[in-house]
A = this chain, B = another copy of it.
Amino acid sequence: MIPVDDSPIIRDGKSLILAYDHGLEHGPVDFTDVPERMDPETVFDIATHDAVSAFAVQKGLAEAYYPSYEDDVNLLVKMNGTSNLWMGEPDSPVNCSVDYAAEIGADAVGFTVYSGSNHEVEMFEEFRDVQEKAREYDLPVVMWSYPRGQGLKNDTSPNTIAYATRIAHEIGADIAKVKYPGSQDAMELAVKAAGATKVVMSGGSKTSDEEFLSTVNSAMNAGAKGLAVGRNVWQREEPAHILDALEELIFNGKSVEAALE
């Protein structure tokens, strides 16, 4: 574990990670309603908002655009990721080495682990290699901790999400990104299970401002240390508006109502 609070991706102990790997994970359909956001430059621009403490992209986008944004964006290189074109037990190829991520300027690395998949053994071991190498570079490690696979029926049950944060803690993630488990109590359990690992809520698919902020608020009240959000920001017409609100809510401790003003 590294003193992650000293990392640029953390501000006052909290983090707002803007994620933009949907082009790989979901394909062009995620841009149907916001075609201009298919251009990574538009979302790099959004990531310059003060509220965003880290911007998570795959290697290819980092290589192409980060050099123009290195003063204004903290780069979180997402190390693995897959298309949704194939079928089978969840797995995710490692698309970037830590050495290369460091070379292109990463401030942190991200890694998806599908615990419960028949590929869990392999993914844990890939995570080990990434985590230990990241330690050499003092790069915080964010785990997308997503239980998924033939053995799991309801992947957002309280115990499953608490198991997800605990796994992240046990095998050495600094930050665990998990889905909202449905209630503030369940999120509290997940935060406790996480021990010294910080928990950030996964933003999920797009909802209304109020609904989204309420959930974030509930997660923060439960002890989460922030948010990793993609579609709920960049699929919006005015991303700055929701980012302003998130900044008030997450970093300045305002209520949902006050944040939305």
Contacts and interface: CB of A to CB of B under 8 A. Distances in A.
Interface stretch (A8-16, A20-28, A208-216, A230-238): A20-28
Copies per complex? Answer: 5
A130 B97 CA distance: 12
B83 A120 contact: yes
Nearest to A28: B162
28 contacts: A1-B60, A1-B63, A23-B170, A24-B166, A24-B170, A27-B166, A28-B159, A28-B162, A28-B163, A39-B195, A40-B169, A40-B195, A59-B170, A60-B168, A60-B195, A60-B197, A61-B170, A63-B172, A64-B196, A64-B197, A83-B167, A85-B163, A86-B115, A93-B128, A95-B124, A95-B125, A95-B128, A97-B128
A39 B165 CA distance: 13
The interface centre, meaning the residue of A28, A31, A135 with most chain B CB atoms within 10 A of its CB, is A28
A204 interface: no
A45 to B, nearest CB: 14
Nearest to A149: B86
Contacts of A31: 193
Interface of A: 1, 21, 23-24, 27-29, 31, 35, 38-41, 58-61, 63-65, 81-83, 85-88, 91-97, 100, 115-118, 120-125, 127-128, 132, 135, 147, 149-152, 159-160, 162-163, 166-173, 189, 192-193, 195-197
Given A166-B27, A172-B95, A38 B193 contact: yes
Contacts of A166: 23-24, 27-28
